[in-house]
Structure 1
């Protein structure tokens, strides 16, 4: 067979347009060239360009879809893999020493996660035991400190009582014309010291007594007004910003809270020329708020962190159990107490107690 090139394409230009010419041999039945076929034609590539663009666009959409699918699969797979770790993380964030912590329960965890969960659960058991031991130690320490304080307060009146009895015994003379006056003075001194001992015993008893379990549906406004009736001081003023604030609480305990706060306010006013105490009852969201404000000497900065400690007092007599007892009562009923004070200008104690829905029969 002849190896002569049988097909040739020539590119030409005419009238500013590109065209191509194709030259091909025409052979007979014996494959001998008998002529040349010349075929000029214009080549239009726009169709192929359009097809190429569409192909590339489809290819890009496929790749984009595969990328999004891969991202979604990676996300769900990572969520599945890290689900157990997220559970462990949430439990770790919720772990607190002052409350009972829940253990982690995960079905069919991996070996590594199972070891982590077992370590956490073991830590929770140890933490619970440590918290119980710490609470017991704190209670024992608190009662030891209380016992020391009680003993100290009892010794204070016993010493003058002993001295008074000894002095009266030495100086007692039945024939003395003033013996009646001396006996009365002696008796008055003993009675004062006995009253001091009685107040110490009452304060300790009130603090040690658990809040009553008898809960009543109370109108805070009416109960506070009733509690203030026992005070005769003209500078005590009651302001109510709500007619009915209903709480679930023991009436006696609520009166005790108000009484202690007002007594403390009165004791802060001995050197004030124009004393004033405001007791304000108002609503604050879903809480009933009771504020007791005075324009007394205020609380010094060094004492503010200790003000609710049972054994703390700045008074020369008494055990300082009042505010500690108030805090215990209020927190028993899921409430809170705080204060703000400015030395030389006054103090405001604020009690907040959760309200309940208004009941048909509210105890005043």
Structure 2
């Protein structure tokens, strides 16, 4: 099993990949990593140690890399980047392996006929609903297509802010590009409907003053009362980033492009997430993640349901306190963090894809 990627390191792809590689049954799977990485960080070094075969690929032409993979006798080639930066999809187009698949790093079809399979699950991609949106056949894992490796070290879960503040604080630490006009409109309605409610948004792009002004103005136009929104720049330090979840009572998932790492981090820090499930993979990742931890009641089917779920949670401080205090342990005991179980499911998927062929 081979994985070409530019993201072997401190990157969301690396965070979700590491638990799988650490728990693979090495009597069944040999791991070859084709690393499109200029400089290895500590997590990248860990990937290099885990690989049976580690090949740096920066500077190799697509033809040369394809020839190298074919010469290595790879049985299954798994793309982790899709159409994101520094991908090597042109290598897959040359079909250096008999079976090729896509997983993890791109929330959509690759559109390449040379990639045979896309690894997902039945909530992110319901059978008969999203198949037609893919050029690949869909291999659905039974307990979710992701495995979250909890960050370490991490601060403890903080007390519920609303108990001290006297008002509810919603929050989002997602990328600004996911905050569409539809998201802003719903968040504005939510803030206008709950007296004293606040919203904290933290993102790397908010270090830019014009970006802060534009987002603040958009939220006010959508109905957010004056003084109800706090906009913060991103934090480079991972521990400080996680500690910032102490600012919010309830996280709001963007739509139609849901969060992934942010949702898992939020749950890990004791903050429940409200999501809206849409009609395609990128819009259903939140539903998949929340299902794995038994929080289907926080998955809405439309904007009104999203608002209702957020208001119901905000109106139950006692229930929210209980949920927060036990949410980290609930996550850690769930299939979402069961790396051994996930590795067995992925190994079964490898076997099924290779048996079925291209």
Say which structure is richer in strand.
1
TM-score by length of 1: 0.20
Say which structure is richer in helix.
1
- Greater Rg by CA: 1
